[in-house]
Amino acid sequence: MIKDIRKQAIVYQIYPKSFCDSNNDGHGDIQGIISKLDYIKDLGVNTIWLSPIFESPNFDNGYDISDYQKINPEYGTLENVDQLINEAHKRGIKVVFDLVVNHSSHQHEWFKNSISSKSSKYRDYYIWRDGKEGKEPNNWGALFGGSAWTYDEKTNQYYLGLFSPQQPDLNWENPNLRKEVYKMMKWWLNRGIDGFRMDVISLISKPQNFPDGKLKKGSQYAAFHPLVSNGPRIHEFLQEMRNEVLNQFDTISIGEASAVTLDEARKYASLDRSELDMVFQFEHMDLDGGESFKWNDRKINVVELKQCLSKWQTGMEGKAWNTLFFSNHDQPRVVSRLGDEGQYREKSAKMLATCFYLMKGTPFIFQGDELSMTNTTFKNIDEVRDLESINAYHDFVENKMFTSDQMLRYISLKGRDNARLPMQWNDGIYGGFSEAKPWIKCNDNASVINAEDQLSRADSVYHYFKKLIELRQSKNVFIDGKYELINELDENVYAYLRTDENETILIVCNFTDQKIKFDCDFECSEVLIRNDENSTFINDSMLNPYETIVLKKSINY
Indicate which residues carry an active-site annotation.
Answer: 199, 256
Bridge-based pairing of strands 94-99 and 47-50 is parallel
Let me know: does 505 contact 525? Beta carbons within 8 Å. no
Q: What is the CA radius of gyration of the chain?
A: 23
* Using rule CB under 6 A, residue 277 touches ligand TEU: no
Give which of ligand TEU, Ca ion, none residue 25 binds (C-beta under 5 to 8 Å, depending on kind): Ca ion
Q: Which is nearer to ligand TEU, 105 or 372 (CB)?
A: 105
* Using rule CB under 6 A, residue 330 touches ligand TEU: yes
Give which of Ca ion, ligand TEU, none residue 27 binds (C-beta under 5 to 8 Å, depending on kind): Ca ion
Bridge-based pairing of strands 362-366 and 11-14 is parallel
Give which of Ca ion, ligand TEU, none residue 100 binds (C-beta under 5 to 8 Å, depending on kind): ligand TEU
Rounded CA separation 402/395 (Å): 9
Q: Which is nearer to ligand TEU, 258 or 367 (CB)?
A: 258
Count the helices and strands in the chain (H runs, E runs): 19, 20
Q: Which is nearer to ligand TEU, 258 or 362 (CB)?
A: 258
* Using rule CB under 5 A, residue 35 touches Ca ion: no
Rounded CA separation 260/284 (Å): 12
Q: Which stretch binds Ca ion (CB under 5 A): 20-28, 64-72, 173-181, 544-552?
A: 20-28
Rounded to a whole number of angstroms, the minimum distance from the CB of residue 384 to ligand TEU is 13
Q: Give every CB contact of residue 303 below 8 A, 6+ residues apart in sequence.
A: 488, 489, 490, 491
Rounded CA separation 411/444 (Å): 17
Give which of ligand TEU, Ca ion, none residue 244 binds (C-beta under 5 to 8 Å, depending on kind): none
Rounded CA separation 336/375 (Å): 6
Rounded to a whole number of angstroms, the minimum distance from the CB of residue 21 to Ca ion is 4
Rounded to a whole number of angstroms, the minimum distance from the CB of residue 388 to ligand TEU is 5
Let me know: does 364 contact 399? Beta carbons within 8 Å. no
Dihedral sign (CA 203, 206, 207, 213): positive
Rounded CA separation 170/103 (Å): 5
Give which of Ca ion, ligand TEU, none residue 206 binds (C-beta under 5 to 8 Å, depending on kind): none
Which residues between 149 and 208 bind ligand TEU (CB under 6 A)? 163, 199-200
* Using rule CB under 5 A, residue 29 touches Ca ion: yes
Helix or strand or coil: residue 387? helix
* Using rule CB under 6 A, residue 388 touches ligand TEU: yes
Rounded to a whole number of angstroms, the minimum distance from the CB of residue 54 to Ca ion is 16
Q: Give every CB contact of residue 497 below 8 A, 6+ residues apart in sequence.
A: 483, 484, 486, 504, 505, 506, 507
Bridge-based pairing of strands 362-366 and 323-324 is parallel
- One-character DSSP codes across 234-299: HHHHHHHHHHHTGGGS--EEEEE-TT--HHHHHHHTBTT-SS-SEEE--TGGGTT-BTTBT-S-PP
To 5 degrees, how large is the angle CA 154–CA 160–CA 161? Answer: 115
Interface residue with ligand TEU among 9, 100, 142, 392 (CB under 6 A) is 100
Q: Which is nearer to ligand TEU, 273 or 337 (CB)?
A: 337
CA distances, 106 to each of 115, 167, 309 (Å): 9, 6, 37
Residue with nearest beta carbon to Ca ion = 29
Give which of ligand TEU, Ca ion, none residue 23 binds (C-beta under 5 to 8 Å, depending on kind): Ca ion
H/E stretch holding 87 reads helix 78-90
Rounded to a whole number of angstroms, the minimum distance from the CB of residue 531 to ligand TEU is 30
Q: Which is nearer to ligand TEU, 273 or 333 (CB)?
A: 333
Give which of ligand TEU, Ca ion, none residue 275 binds (C-beta under 5 to 8 Å, depending on kind): none
Query: For the purposes of burial, counting CB atoms within 10 Å of the CB of 67, is it exposed (0-12), middle (13-18) or buried (19 or more)?
Result: middle
Rounded CA separation 11/366 (Å): 9
Rounded to a whole number of angstroms, the minimum distance from the CB of residue 519 to ligand TEU is 38
Q: Which is nearer to ligand TEU, 417 or 547 (CB)?
A: 417
Q: Which is nearer to ligand TEU, 285 or 508 (CB)?
A: 285
Which residues between 238 and 267 bind ligand TEU (CB under 6 A)? 256, 258
Interface residue with ligand TEU among 29, 55, 60, 346 (CB under 6 A) is 60
Residue with nearest beta carbon to ligand TEU = 63
Give which of Ca ion, ligand TEU, none residue 29 binds (C-beta under 5 to 8 Å, depending on kind): Ca ion
Binding site for Ca ion (CB under 5 A): 21, 23, 25, 27, 29
Task: List contacts with ligand TEU (CB under 6 A).
Answer: 60, 63, 100, 163, 199-200, 256, 258, 294, 329-330, 388, 416
